[in-house]
Amino acid sequence: MDALHSSFFDHLAQTSPDPIALDIVHAEGSWLTARDGKRYLDLVAGLAVNNTGHRHPKVVEAIKAQCDRYLHVIPYGEFVQEPQVRFAERLTGLLPAGLDSVYFVNSGTEAIEAALKLAKRITGRTGLVGCHKSYHGSTHGSLSITGNEAKKYRNRPLLPDVRFITFNASEDLSLITEDTAAVVVEPIQGDAGVRVPSADWMSALGTQCKRTGALLVFDEVQTGFGRTGTLFAFERFGVVPDILVLGKALGGGLPMGAFVASREQMQLLTRDPVLGHITTFGGHPLPCVAGSAALEVLVHDDLTANALRMGALFKELLVHPRIQEVRGEGLMLAVELGNTDLVRRVVRGCLEKGVLGFWFLSCPTAFRIAPPLVIREEEVRLACAAIQDALETAD
Ligand code: PLP
């Protein structure tokens, strides 16, 4: 082991007993280069972050230009910072009426926390509803509505008054009542191994929320920004949330989260008590300009259409007796092998062949395909050949 790797294990807190431990020195488009010069085709995109590819020139240019203007000047919400205003203006312009006010924070989980607080404020209720198998982040509020006991049991007590519903179970919708402040749903579940609910169930969910006055919160931290073949996954279902939660690709490769609601509702955070949610670094100008530039690239280059095309190509090419199913939409895919050990061997095999894949924390029998949305046809073909090869030799 070299000195850098030793130090990685000795001095940097670890989250897993078995990290991939690649030492990347350069990244561009859909490719990563390690210190030893080996190149890897990236099917992970920093876990659904680098939608416009690594170091897109427009994003890098925007970051450099902002570095020459100013960095942090004051905690969120006091100064008129043009990067924040312009980004919020552009984002809300792409969203339905009613989602017209953006609050920028630092991560997906912080955005979930703040959305829960806002929902309680708006409704005056305390009940929360989450979904079985969901993942919403690692802080206490997010864990409370996460439907995965393995992630939660060490952290109890968590928030009280939380119920869980299952995708496509109509009978569960009666758990949403006049006491429910918010129902938090990933419109397509990510960490669960990419699970797509039926359009009928989503529509019934929307109706039940309207009937009971419960707010519908869509967690699009992973599904947002073209990943599933529409700019936001909720567009596919024709159900508009009351609060939209964003993260990951939002910041164009820099850390950022956000929640979006109506201006009237967002105004509740300014009184009784004032400063209803505060953050020092939320809306930092660097992720704002990077996110703005990435959004322009996404729209201008129609990367959502590329996500659809390349997603379909993956599905067409990934046919093998060991593959039980390729689930998902656009470039948010799960390759189901039905065998945890095989998944590990195939992911390792792909890595040796220069293709970076990754498993799901809550669905160890499948591995994910979530590359940058700029991935090209020849790269998809190369990735699929490596996966087929790894499947053949994974004994
Ligand atoms: N929500 C979803 C759907 C996620 O996939 C994640 C992270 O994977 C989060 C929330 C939490 O985001 P973050 O890791 O930025 O806190």
Alpha-carbon span 177 to 6, nearest angstrom: 54
pLDDT of 238: 93
With a 6 Å cutoff on the Cβ, whether 186 touches ligand 1 is yes
CATH 3.90.1150.10 corresponds to the domain 3-55+302-393: yes
Cα 45-217-207 angle, rounded to 5 deg: 125
Under CATH, which architecture does the 58-300 domain have?
A: 3-Layer(aba) Sandwich (3.40)
Cβ–ligand 1 distance for 141 under 6 Å, the answer: no
Mean pLDDT of the 1-24 span: 94
| Token pair of 7 as six digits | 């130090």
> pTM here?
0.98
DSSP label of 208? H
Report the alpha-carbon distance of residue 91 to residue 87 in Å, rounded.
6
Beta bridge partners of 215: 182
User: Is 224 near ligand 1, meaning CB less than 6 Å away?
Assistant: no
Is 346 near ligand 1, meaning CB less than 6 Å away? Answer: no
pLDDT tens track for 91-107? 999 999 999 999 999 99
**% of residues, the chain, pLDDT over 70:** 100
- Give me the residue spans of the domains in the chain: 3-55+302-393, 58-300
Mean pLDDT of all residues in 81-98: 98
> In the chain, helix, strand, coil percent, each to 5?
40, 20, 40
Model pLDDT for residues 247-269, shown as the tens digit of each residue:
999 999 999 999 999 999 999 99
Looking at residue 85, what is its pLDDT? Answer: 98
Distances (CA, A) of 152 to 134, 220, 292, 378: 12, 21, 35, 42
What spacing in Å lies between the alpha carbon of 145 and ligand 1's midpoint?
A: 13
- Given a contact cutoff of 8 angstroms between Cβ atoms, the answer to whether 384 and 314 are in contact is yes
Q: Choose among 89, 78, 50, 74: nearest CA to 260.
A: 89
d(CA 55, CA 92): 25
| 395: pLDDT strictly greater than 90 | no
Is the CB of residue 329 below 6 angstroms from any atom belonging to ligand 1?
no
Alpha-carbon distance values, 262 to 12, 205, 241 (Å): 41, 20, 11
Which of 51, 109, 228 most suits a substitution to test ligand 1, by most atoms within 8 Å of the C-beta? 109
Task: Say whether pLDDT at 1 is over 90.
Answer: no
Residue 134 in contact with ligand 1 by CB distance below 6 A: no
Q: Which tokens sit at 360?
A: 């799901």
Q: Cβ neighbours of residue 364 under 8 Å, at least 6 residues apart?
A: 340, 343
Rounded-to-integer distance, Cα 283 and Cα 274, Å = 19
219 CB under 6 A from ligand 1?
yes
Q: What is the pLDDT of residue 196?
A: 98
Please answer whether residues 45 and 247 qualify as being in contact, where contact means their C-beta atoms are separated by less than 8 angstroms. Answer: no
- Ligand 1 atom 5: residue of nearest CA: 222
Q: Identify the residue whose tokens are 């936001």.
A: 232
Ligand 1 center to 394 CA (angstroms)? 31
Q: Is the CB of 190 under 6 A from ligand 1?
A: yes
Q: Exposed, middle or buried, 7 (CB in 10 Å: 0-12/13-18/19+)?
A: exposed
**pLDDT, tens only, 187-207:** 999 999 999 999 999 999 999
**59, pLDDT greater than 90:** yes
| Length reported for the chain | 395
The verdict on the CB of residue 336 being under 6 Å from ligand 1 is no
Is 106's C-beta closer than 6 angstroms to any atom of ligand 1?
no
> Which of ligand 1's atoms lies nearest the C-alpha of 186?
3
Q: Which atom of ligand 1 is nearest to the CA of 223?
A: 3
Residue 355 identity: V
CA–centroid distance, residue 75 to ligand 1 (Å): 23
Report d(CA 334, CA 370) in Å as an integer. Answer: 9
pLDDT of residue 361: 81
* E runs forming strands in the chain: 24-28, 31-34, 39-42, 101-105, 127-132, 146-147, 162-165, 180-185, 215-219, 243-246, 257-261, 325-329, 332-336, 355-356, 358-359, 366-369
The string of pLDDT tens digits covering residues 291-335 is 999 999 999 999 999 999 999 999 999 999 999 999 999 999 999
